Amino acid sequence: MNELKPRIHENGIDYILVGDYYVPDLKLPEEKRPIGHWGRLHKAYLQNYRPAVYNELVLSCRLHSVLADLNEQANDRFSLIMEQMARAEGVTEQMKADNQMLWVQSMNSIRNRAEEIIKHEMIYCHYSGGGD
C-alpha cells in the first residue's frame, strides 16, 4: 500500500494525517476583531437555519472574519438608522431637556424599530454563501 502523505489539501481545506485518518487542520484566525452582538445573532442563525453555510465558513476558517465584518457593518447601519429616524421624528436634545420621559420613549421606539430593520436586512437574511 502507498505511504500516506502527512498533509493534503482538498476542496479548499488543509488536512493533516492523524493515525490512519485525515482530519481538517483548523487554525484560529489571526485577527482580533470582536464579533459583537450582531455577529453572535448571525452565527446562531447560521447554525440553526443554514448549517451547510456555517460548516463551510468554519472549515474554510472564514467564520470569524465574516461575523466581524457583519458586526461592523450592522453597527454602522444601526447608528445611521437611529440618527435618521430621530431627525425625521423631531427627537432632539431640546426634547431631552424639556421632556425627558417623552425623549426616552421616543428613543426606545426608534431603537426597537432600528433593531428589527437590521435583523431583517442583515442578520436573518438568506445567505447564499458565495463570494462575500
pTM metric for this prediction = 0.73
Q: How many CB atoms lie within 10 A of CB 25?
A: 15
Residue from 56, 76, 75 nearest 127 by CA: 56
Judged against a pLDDT cut of 60, whether residue 130 lies above it is answered with: no
Rounded distance, CA 105 to CA 45, Å? 30
Q: For residue 132, what pLDDT is reported?
A: 41
Model confidence at 28, pLDDT cuts 50, 70, 90, reads: low
Judged against a pLDDT cut of 90, whether residue 131 lies above it is answered with: no
C-alpha cell at 124: 436573518
**Strand-by-strand arrangement of the 21-24 sheet:** 7-10, 13-18, 21-24
Q: For residue 20, what pLDDT is reported?
A: 85
Rounded distance, CA 67 to CA 57, Å? 10
